[in-house]
A and B are shown apart, each in its own frame.
Chain A
Amino acid sequence: MTEPLLHAIGVAKRYGAVTALRDASLAVLPGEVHALLGANGAGKSTLVKILTGAVHPDAGRILVRGQERQVHSPSEARRTGLVSVYQEPSLIPDLDVAANLRLSRTPLESVRGWLSKLGIERLDPAHTARELPLATLRILDLARALAIEPDVLLLDEMTAALPADLTEKVLEVVGGIRATGRSVIFISHRMLEISELCDRATVLRDGETVGVVDMNEGAAEEIVQLMLGPGGINRPEEAAPAAADVQPADGGRPVRLSVRSVRAGTRLQNVSLDLYAGEVLGLVALEGQGQDELFEVLSGSRRPDTGELVVDDRVVHFRHPADAIRAGLVYVPANRVDALLMQRSVRENISLPFSAALRRWGPIDMSGEASRVDGAVDRLQIDTRAQSEVRRLSGGNQQKVTIARWVAHGIRTLLCFDPTRGIDIRTKQEIYRLVRELAGTGAAVLLYTSELEEVQLACDRVVVIFGGRVVDEMPAAIADEPTLMRAAYGLPPEAGAQTAGVKA
């Protein structure tokens, strides 16, 4: 066996009482794309932090080309040949592109070369990072890392939040690194990408490496089994038989929320849609098609320029999120940090909405609150080992707390913006199940998702937005990925294919 470029052996890390890593190993061979997989809380992010030097392990060794390595910062890790691209771009927002490249001592010309391979031909280096859209920043971050030509490139959820055309380029370029004898550690929740791109995969569960899988036929099955562990739940395909047993929404059910010709900012042009009680309505759009503005309007943090919202047959004007909450519209953002008090406990986070209104600032009904909170925690199976501070929970559990607060509050209309972004399969399935249950009890759910397969897993009906307008609407049963993809790009349904667009 060839010597690994990067070899982590028996790495362990504890944070107080919580053991993040028990016994993790990872061997990356020269010239391979190696997937690192694990459910949330499996220790993946801790291992990444240790590899990049941000965190020092309690035990274990890390070898680079057979040499033991001691690093204490990303810049030291870079000197040993490991460069990372993180989920959040690590560009300085107030510096322009040229200064950012100077900061990391990356030659502009080489970055330009990679940018054009990645599908961004022209980029004015005088723009500050703050002025660039997220997708461009992520590509720029990747190009910067590629220009350094590291021995090992670590990509953490590189394709999340990227539009499909850029994703394709990224996968192509990353796959091409193999030929140079250098390696990539690829972290992703998208199994399809992993099967296509990666050579081998290391699977973590509960802080241990539970298997290394060669990516060939059937590997995806094996990985899912490893991630779920003995007694794991079903595969995603079987998990949420969403659309099948739920009849499509029709006039028989009351309209909970009606959006009428809403326009906001430059991107949300004119959107009308009806959300019925008891249904999960999917919303699909490429990045920046106005969905962000739509959710801001619906959650009361932005006033529409024109158009109106009708909740339970009454026209409403939200001036503040509190108005939206009072009307029963509650919002679960993609970024957990926007919704949670990271330094407070699970209990306080869940009960906050009860105490928000000024007139409720009096004494807290401790036992009543405790029972509501416990009910919500049980229902969502939140892992409460680290409940005294929400920031110490894993990402998936944090997202569950965000939803749990509204479950405890009694949900009428739930607005979810990409709630499963960066979350593992098991937690995703729990969230799908929860959303279905809520709809079953008569709540209405609007679910924006950037992962197209979620539509068939969780929704009854789907609306596609392109260029700030609704371009298609169809039952989830026929909304397979190719159909949604075409619609999301503003293309007409393929001639000869089933007539997907059921215009309502």
Chain B
Amino acid sequence: MSASVDAPGLAAGTDLWRTVARTVRRNAWTLGLLGLLVVLLGVTHAIQPSYGAAGVESLAKAALPVALVAVGQAIVVIAGGIDLSVASMMALTNVTAAALMKGTSDEAAVLVVVAVLVLGIALGAINGTLVVLTRVPDIVVTLAMSFVWAGAALLVLSTPGGAAAQWLRDLYNGTVGSEWLPKALVLIVVAAALAWVPLRRTRMGLVFYAIGSDKLAAFRSGVDIRRTKVASYALCGLFSAMGGLAITMATGTGIPVPGPYTLASVAAVVLGGVSLAGGRGGLVGVVLAVFVLRLVRADLVFLGIDPNFTTVIEGLTMVIVVMVGAMLAMRSRRG
């Protein structure tokens, strides 16, 4: 009777059933989200019978900047931190890209994209270095830096302006192959895979999970905590810059005011099954969560409810999801 409790220490060989059961159990949250997304798509279609390929494309477009920044946020949270400056970094990289692309050739715009991505890495690295050097909590440092980056964005462009290269805009608009496969969705999948594969298959990913799970044990296992932490923030900066470029793609301009992306990214991370305490969760769930939250927002619009209400929903979602997650964790510990 107590076998399932006592067994882990001295488990018998893994038979197939056990492996399958464990895989399902470990990914239960992600599978649940996938189910939720399917149900929501059905609900959306019920509310708005015309919702089809065009709807999916606009959903993917709306999800693109959020998904990119949420992936970056997830990396930091997995490594035991949090970055509240992501929206400001997006604004800063967005206006930098737009300002630099104004009046430049398509070839030069490629250099601009590279430069903006490097800028994102630098911004994130500065965040991480400050956290590590000052030993001030992540929340405080990144909250303070969010004002610094937002101010810098206004210095670059005091009013919305700038331009985006046409090829960059073409990368965003339209579909590839089937009308059901928007380019924005492809971008999301590629970007998420770019982060997810190294996170799962390299030592870099391993050390992110390690310092997020137990800093002392990681230190004793030979992990350089400080460098790892800076690296996680630098990656978050990179993905924020990608999010900023996504805004440039979408609007064709630079907007020097941070959008509501910080809350959205944290909400997606939490709903995506990443533990805010660090060390647990993956990126697939986070990306699914972005779609779920965007779809809820779309449904509210279809239902004629004020879309501003979505921030209320996203805020409440965070509290409820963290609470439910803690309750599930407690129950599995008891059982």
- Chain B residues within 8 Å of A, Cβ to Cβ: 1-2, 5, 8-14, 19, 22, 203, 206-207, 209-210, 212-214, 216-224, 279-280, 334
Contact = CB atoms under 8 A, between A and B. Distances in A.
Given A92-B214, A93-B213, A99-B206, A124 B222 contact: no
Interface string A91-132: 111110001101111000000000000001111101100011
Given A122-B11, A265-B334, 18 more contacts: A74-B219, A74-B222, A88-B217, A90-B216, A90-B220, A91-B221, A94-B213, A95-B206, A99-B206, A103-B218, A103-B223, A120-B10, A122-B10, A124-B8, A126-B19, A136-B9, A136-B10, A267-B5
Given A86-B220, A95-B213, A267-B2, A102 B203 contact: yes
Given A74-B222, A86-B220, A126-B22, A132 B213 contact: no
Given A92-B213, A266-B1, A73 B14 contact: no
A266 B218 CA distance: 32
Nearest to A79: B222
Which 6 A/B pairs are nearest by Cβ-Cβ distance? A75-B222, A90-B220, A94-B213, A94-B279, A124-B11, A90-B217
Residue among A93, A103, A136 with most chain B CB within 10 A:
A103
A218 interface: no
7 contacts: A74-B219, A75-B224, A94-B212, A99-B206, A103-B210, A266-B2, A267-B2
A88 B215 CA distance: 13
B216 A103 contact: no
A84 interface: yes
B14 A124 contact: yes
A400 to B, nearest CB: 25
A89 interface: yes
Nearest to B220: A90
Interface string A64-93: 000000000111001000001010111111
Contacts of B212: 94
Contacts of A133: 8-9
Contacts of B334: 265
Contacts of A95: 206, 209-210, 213
Contacts of B14: 124, 126
A94 B222 contact: no
Nearest to A89: B217
Given A95-B210, A99-B206, A103-B203, A73 B2 contact: no
Contacts of A123: 9-11
A494 B210 CA distance: 49
Interface residues of A, number: 37
Nearest to B279: A94
Contacts of B207: 103
Contacts of A122: 10-13
Contacts of B214: 92-94
A403 B209 CA distance: 38
Contacts of B2: 266-267
Interface of A: 52, 54, 73-75, 78, 84, 86, 88-95, 99-100, 102-105, 120-124, 126-127, 131-133, 135-136, 265-267
B210 A73 contact: no
A481 to B, nearest CB: 26
B10 to A, nearest CB: 6
Nearest to B19: A126
A52 B12 CA distance: 36
A299 B9 CA distance: 28
A382 to B, nearest CB: 27
B206 A103 contact: yes
Contacts of A52: 220
Contacts of A86: 220
Residue among B203, B212, B220 with most chain A CB within 10 A:
B220
B22 A73 contact: no
A175 to B, nearest CB: 25
Contacts of B220: 52, 74, 84, 86, 90
A90 B221 contact: yes
Contacts of A104: 221-222
Contacts of B223: 75, 103
Residue among B203, B206, B221 with most chain A CB within 10 A:
B221
B81 to A, nearest CB: 15
Contacts of B213: 92-95
B217 to A, nearest CB: 4
Contacts of B203: 102-103
B11 A127 contact: yes
B221 A92 contact: yes
A89 B216 CA distance: 10
Contact of B217 (A92, A121, A127, A265): A92
A75 B203 CA distance: 15
Contacts of A74: 219-222
A127 B8 contact: yes
Contacts of B12: 122
A80 to B, nearest CB: 13
Contacts of A136: 9-10
Contacts of A90: 216-217, 220-221
Residue among A84, A86, A126 with most chain B CB within 10 A:
A126
A120 B9 CA distance: 9
B332 to A, nearest CB: 10
Contacts of B279: 92-94
A131 B219 contact: no
Contacts of B280: 94
Contacts of B8: 124, 127, 131-133
A266 B334 CA distance: 9
A34 to B, nearest CB: 21
A265 B203 CA distance: 38
Contacts of B219: 54, 73-74
Nearest to B217: A90
B222 A92 contact: no
A124 B206 CA distance: 19
B195 to A, nearest CB: 18
Residue among B214, B216, B279, B334 with most chain A CB within 10 A:
B214
Contacts of B9: 120, 123, 132-133, 135-136
Given A92-B217, A126-B22, A265-B334, A78 B11 contact: no
B207 to A, nearest CB: 7
B260 to A, nearest CB: 30
Nearest to A468: B2
B5 A102 contact: no
B96 to A, nearest CB: 37
Contacts of A120: 9-10
A156 to B, nearest CB: 11
B209 A73 contact: no
A91 B217 contact: yes
A123 B214 CA distance: 22
Contacts of A127: 8, 11
A267 B224 CA distance: 40
A75 B8 CA distance: 30
A246 B221 CA distance: 50
Contact of B222 (A78, A91, A132): A78
A90 B2 CA distance: 27
